[in-house]
Structure 1
Amino acid sequence: MGETTALAAETYCDVVREHARVSGDVTAFSFAGEDISFAELDAGADRVASALAALGIGPGDRVAFLGKNHPLYFEAFLGANRIGAVMTPVNWRLAAPEVAYVLGNCCARVVFVGEGFADMLAGIRGDCPLVEQVIGIDAPDYAGTDYRTWRDGFSPSPPAHRVAAQDDALQLYTSGTTGKPKGAVITHGSLLSSRDGAAAGEEMRVWQQPIPGDVTLLAMPCFHISGTGTGIGTMVAGTCSIVLPEYDPTKALDLIENFNISKIFLVPAALQILLNHPRVGEVDFSRLKYVTYGASPIPLELMREAIRVMGCGFVQMYGMTETTGTIVALDPEDHVAEGSVRMRSVGKPLAGVEIKVIDEGGNAVPTGTVGEIATRSDKNMRGYWNNDAATRATIGPDGWLRTGDAGYLDADGYLYIHDRVKNMIISGGENVYPAEVENALYSHPKVADVAVIGVPDDKWGEAVKACVVLKPGEAMTEDEIIAHARTQIAGYKCPKSVDFIPALPRNPSGKILRRELRAPYWAGKDRAVN
């Protein structure tokens, strides 16, 4: 293993090239027993660039990846970027018509397909007339072109192309909880500025600093910014990612214990699954330095359990696809097992990130006042692909991006999230933010998971309903749940009714699909508010 080197560059492509030159023997990715060094990654990407160019792919063209996590996704990503093309990873959990929509919307001409998805792709080819070439990445179920054979048949010297910070690099599709998904276009500058403080002049926090020998477990899906962002982050840092095809708590625990894992990003739902695993008490977490988490709120009781069991540093991250991931973080020193006011926050903005809280007219509101969170930085996306109206509604001419989240800033600059603006419940003229109610209910020892929604009410306009998942073997009544809530929060915020359900519907990033929970109660209504 060689020494990693701190580098300043305009794009991550430049950084990987330099890592390959000065520390080429360092492992960049490890997957299913196969290690890929930075030198091998760099050389493979050059051949991919040559191969794509031979297919007529060039600057601005989109290529897509449909498959579970694989290190060759990052090699293909790097190769496409080197000739100015843009990678679009597709959510493999989508139904076939949804996949066809994404491929058509991004205008992908080449699709890399992973194991298990050849039949789906074959079934929708007729709906994807722009797709010219399909290439299988370690996909024995695909009888067409094999990635490794295809790649190795082309020159190690690709066409010369200078990639700039303002060029498009990545197109990620939003989860599509309302309407059709939108493609967030992320530039090279956004990728580099968002990865571990790598942008020149940024001051990194201690937990962001790359350390030679660090090993990161890449467990979140690469069609999400958490997965792709993790891989880009270790490529920039010059350290290793061990890649899981998909999140598996048993394999995650084995890798943490046996492969010197030092960092891992998990959404709270995945962290909860890990802590509930029967083997978790037997695992040695002593080499784990940091668990970073985000994408949805985390209840205090779950955080306490994680601190007790894992004993490492915890970092809460706040961001979104449109901000290329993390823009605000709560540092390890702000995580205390006994709880604190600051643990209810998501922390303070990262270097170079501006945050303000605004009213409906876009005016900044006073400290401590709830409003919509807006942000401005180099991390913001360029815009939504072929959707100028949505872009204008999200990013103002002054560069401020509306997050759609409701929250407030305290006097020390800590950001507190209440909920998505659209999820706010108005009951009897009072605003109720579901996250606050959910935290209160989750503190009951019998509750495993909970979501709060607004349902129509003839008297109050909307009433608060709790959808509760109990821990195995436990039983509770509606009255017990409501009584417990009254000990935690104001009466008008407490649920008026409770549904006990076996599991909450969630998307792959761990976010609750409130639309599915709300749908039965709003059926037949002209509007989703009352």
Structure 2
Amino acid sequence: MASTPVLNYITFDEFLRHWAAQRPDGLALVEGERRTTYAQAEVLTRQLIAFLQAHGVGRGDRFAWYGKNSDRYFLLLFAAARMGAVIAPVGWRLAPREVGYILADTESKLVIAGEDFVAAAQAVEAGIDNGPAVFEAAAAFAEAAGMEPAASFAQPDPDEAVLQLYTSGTTGNPKGVLLSNRNLFSLRRASRVANMPWDKLDAQDCLLGAMPIAHIGGTGSGPIAVANGIPVHVLPEYTPDGTLAAIEAGTTLLFLVPAAVQFMMQHPRAATTDFSRLKYLMYGAAPMPLELLKEAVKMMPATGFIQLYGMTETTGTVSLLPPEDHDVGGNRRMRSAGKAVPGVRIEVRGPDNQPVPTGEIGEICILSPSNTAGYWKLPEATASTIDPDGWLHTGDAGIMDEDGYVYIQDRIKDMIISGGENVYPAEVESAIYGHPAIAEVAVIGVPSAKWGEEVKACVVAKPGHEIDAADVIAWARERIAAFKAPKSVDVIPLMPRNASGKILRRELRAPYWEGQERQIS
């Protein structure tokens, strides 16, 4: 167990200084052939602070990372968190229009882009008034390496934003979620004090960072590693082969969405991979299908499986189903998202914002020091999500049993999770509207054995027109990221609506979810 002072640390600066002194030769980051120790990370982040300051980025200013997962992104995150700047990672799979929106919304002064994304970043920047300067990541790091490390800098208050992650918006535009040092580290001490076994990590452990860094499930590997003084083995993007190779190389802890677990288990290499060092496989964003879990447990008998529930606005995990509640034969609790982690309170509330009786359905609400302070430049959206008492309303409908286990039933806000990616119907509908043959469109999520959920567009044709499904899908892919575009299109004669004219998505979804235990997969 870490020493007592470490338990009280709440900032990247404290952790980096501590591990640079205690484990100077211990690895902090690994990507390909690059290795960065904690002593090197402490100095390099101060050089990056000098680089950012030299290019006009100061406390409270924003800059962006545009590219795949990278050790360089994490070093920039560490530097931003130490000096009080705000980094915004941009999803590399987004369409140019979506990238442009985020860069403009953040008012970023710089974009640091991966080698394969410089031209795209420059093209997007050209369309933004007073657009950010674009730097290729290797060149930026080479320049920083030649600079004198910042000897002193004004450290931010632990509650100041240092990370801005974008979550798809119900109105078509994504929202910037503001996260601070305290958000990122606030629950760690409670877990350690509660003696949670999965939080007992030592110098021999290694965390795999394979999920996209534009999401909390990917970026969150950085704070976990730094808090424990262990390395993150960074994969530029998830691949089954790369993940299996990293496990054989010594990964002891990783987070994957269930679709990624499935792809890994189906890879030919899985049958011969040595999983003996893998302590915990954490999964979330969708429940693990029982048959897949059985296969995984059979292949990884020494690994503890942990289901996580959370969202960007809660800085990730707020409830957890531990290994001891997993039973390959199946049990009631495996249909749940587990119980609140130490330091978090969860209530299921009704429309009056009061807790409903045990076993009744309501909205899942969270009170936690890891809750975001709000959305960037969106006070109304913030007020509608976080009530005056600090409870964050997730938009998920659920039930809590007498033991505190939470069972998610549906999504109040209609969000679709496909392969771990968040997709909002309004955003997809906006992309499809304008197709010359379409009069109306409604987008729903339908069950998918591969992705958990798939995006389906239900469309009504304009009089005298015929709709070609492939053409609609191609039309959408030109305007939004491919993972958001519909996988299938249903042509229907009339949209189901209520008395006020609102489209009844539940009626559209019903035929596809018949027989399912809940309305998400």
Amino acid at match of 2:111: V
Aligned to 1:161, which of 147, 154, 163? 154
In the other structure, the counterpart of 2:246 is 255
**1:187 pairs with 2:180:** yes
Q: Show CA shifts across 1:248-290 (max 9, x none).
A: 1011112212x11111100011011111112211111111111
In the other structure, the counterpart of 2:432 is none
In the other structure, the counterpart of 1:290 is 280
Other structure's SS at 1:232 match: helix
In the other structure, the counterpart of 1:371 is 362
**1:415 pairs with 2:390:** no
In the other structure, the counterpart of 2:42 is 42
Displacement over 4 Å in runs of 4+:
3-6, 199-202, 464-471, 511-526
Is 2:63–2:88's contact at 8 Å kept on the other side of the alignment? yes
Aligned to 2:141, which of 131, 140, 148? 148
- Seq. identity, %: 38
Aligned to 2:202, which of 202, 211, 222? 211
Aligned to 2:372, which of 350, 373, 381? 381
Give the C-alpha shift of residue 515 in structure 1: 7.3
Other structure's SS at 1:384 match: coil
In the other structure, the counterpart of 2:291 is 301
Q: Show CA shifts across 1:437-485 (max 9, x none).
A: x9xxxxxxxxxxxxxx9xxxxxxxx9x99655699xxxxxxxxxxxxxx
Task: Tell me how large the CA RMSD over aligned residues is.
Answer: 3.1
Is 2:11–2:158's contact at 8 Å kept on the other side of the alignment? yes
Q: Distance in 1 between matches of 2:96 and 2:485?
A: 23
Amino acid at match of 2:133: Q
Q: Distance in 2 between matches of 1:469 and 1:340?
A: 21
Give the C-alpha shift of residue 187 in structure 1: 1.2
Amino acid at match of 1:99: V
**1:265 pairs with 2:240:** no
The higher relative CO (CA closer than 8 Å, separation ≥ 6) is in 2
Is 2:118–2:135's contact at 8 Å kept on the other side of the alignment? no
When residues 468 and 322 of structure 1 are mapped into structure 2, their CA distance, relative to the original with a 3 A threshold, is closer
Amino acid at match of 2:268: P
Q: Distance in 2 between matches of 1:522 and 1:322?
A: 39
Normalised by the size of structure 2, how large is the TM-score? Answer: 0.80
In the other structure, the counterpart of 1:345 is 336
**1:221 pairs with 2:212:** yes
Is 1:65–1:113's contact at 8 Å kept on the other side of the alignment? yes
Amino acid at match of 1:239: I
Give the C-alpha shift of residue 122 in structure 1: 1.5
Q: Distance in 2 between matches of 1:354 and 1:307?
A: 31
Give the C-alpha shift of residue 175 in structure 1: 3.1
Q: Distance in 1 between matches of 2:296 and 2:150?
A: 48
Give the C-alpha shift of residue 204 in structure 1: 4.2
Normalised by the size of structure 1, how large is the TM-score? Answer: 0.79
Q: Show CA shifts across 1:393-419 (max 9, x none).
A: 100010010101111110011111112
Is 2:183–2:371's contact at 8 Å kept on the other side of the alignment? yes
Q: Distance in 2 between matches of 1:132 and 1:466?
A: 39
When residues 178 and 289 of structure 1 are mapped into structure 2, their CA distance, relative to the original with a 3 A threshold, is farther
Aligned to 1:238, which of 222, 229, 239? 229
Other structure's SS at 1:173 match: strand
Is 1:192–1:199's contact at 8 Å kept on the other side of the alignment? no
Is 1:329–1:347's contact at 8 Å kept on the other side of the alignment? yes
Q: Distance in 1 between matches of 2:244 and 2:450?
A: 25
**1:403 pairs with 2:378:** no
Which 5+ residue runs of structure 2 have no aligned equivalent? 419-424, 426-441, 452-468, 508-521
**1:361 pairs with 2:336:** no
Other structure's SS at 2:255 match: strand
Q: Distance in 2 between matches of 1:199 and 1:76?
A: 27
Is 2:358–2:399's contact at 8 Å kept on the other side of the alignment? yes
Q: Distance in 1 between matches of 2:45 and 2:494?
A: 51
Amino acid at match of 2:13: C
In the other structure, the counterpart of 1:174 is 167
Is 2:162–2:179's contact at 8 Å kept on the other side of the alignment? yes
When residues 302 and 175 of structure 1 are mapped into structure 2, their CA distance, relative to the original with a 3 A threshold, is farther
Q: Distance in 2 between matches of 1:343 and 1:134?
A: 47
Q: Show CA shifts across 1:361-405 (max 9, x none).
A: 212111011111000110101100000010011000100101011
Q: What pairs up with 1:359-508 in 2 under 5 angstroms?
A: 359-423=350-414
When residues 13 and 516 of structure 1 are mapped into structure 2, their CA distance, relative to the original with a 3 A threshold, is farther
Is 2:111–2:121's contact at 8 Å kept on the other side of the alignment? no
When residues 61 and 518 of structure 1 are mapped into structure 2, their CA distance, relative to the original with a 3 A threshold, is farther
Is 2:495–2:503's contact at 8 Å kept on the other side of the alignment? no
Decide which moves more: 158-167 or 18-27. Answer: 158-167
